[in-house]
Amino acid sequence: QVQLQESGPGLVKPSETLSLTCDVSGYSISSGHYWGWIRQPPGMRLEWIGSIYHSGSTSYNPSLKSRVTVAVDTSKNQFSLKLSSVTAADTAVYYCARVGGPFNMWGQGTMVTVSS
Amino acid sequence: EIVLTQSPGTLSLSPGERATLSCRASQSVSNSYLAWYQQKPGQAPRLLIYGASSRATGIPDRFSGSGSGTDFTLTISRLEPEDFAVYYCQQYGSSPRTFGPGAKVDI
């Protein structure tokens, strides 16, 4: 059974870089699929951040593109998210997901708060 | 960017009743690449419907989707207690992928 698990700091200071990792189990990232990050600020709608293929090909939401890097490490069967120059507006629950057209498998999510 | 709106924002119903949720897109959704998700408090969204009308694996047949172009509908034929949740539509036909604001089905 495919499982995804996010990990990373729950508190990040303004202007610093948010870094999260998604560990995938039960499925080899190298086998295919795109893998993505989605976030949900408190009380707001879900927002797609970006996606990556196992080959390293990426696509990003234009609203975040200048600050986002998504990378994949097939040897560890995980992918990662870096979001630079964070502000309070980046406070959200961050989810990783498998992309099969729609997002067909999700991690449980991790809350990240941006505060000094 | 395709903007999705959902109506109604909240639907108050009882178990056994029928729920009809609407999702409207600001422009046509390519290939009817429209999905519906269910989210309960403290949980990740769960894929219910993809391609506007195909049920995801393990989803009960009381959930059905329809529509094309800019207008889509999620129907829950007979509400079970576990169906009271927030429902989101999402389009994946064009980039960036976008979500609707959500619609709450409560008792």
Q: Is A47 on the interface with B (CB under 8 A)?
A: yes
DSSP assignment of A51-94 equals EEETTS-EEE-TTTGGGEEEEEETTTTEEEEEE-S--GGG-EEE
Q: Note the pLDDT tens digit of each residue in B1-34.
A: 999 999 999 999 999 999 999 999 999 999 999 9
Contact B45 A104 (CB under 8 A): no
Q: What is the pLDDT of residues A45-68, one digit of tens each?
A: 999 999 999 888 999 999 999 999
Q: B96: which chain A residues are within 8 Å (Cβ-Cβ)? A: 48, 61-63
The closest CB to that of A45, out of B35, B50, B101, belongs to B101
Contacts with B37 from chain A: Cβ below 8 Å: 103
Give the mean pLDDT of chain B. 96
- Dihedral sign (CA B69, A43, A33, B74): negative
**Taking CB atoms and an 8 Å limit, are A102 and B35 in contact across chains?**
yes
Predicted confidence at residue B107, as pLDDT, reads: 81
pLDDT for A32:
84
A37 touches chain B (CB under 8 A): no
Summarised one tens digit per residue, pLDDT across range A57-109 is 999 999 999 999 999 999 999 999 999 999 999 999 999 999 988 999 999 99
Residue with token string 């293929």: A53
Q: Is the dihedral of CA B48, B44, A56, B34 positive or negative?
A: positive
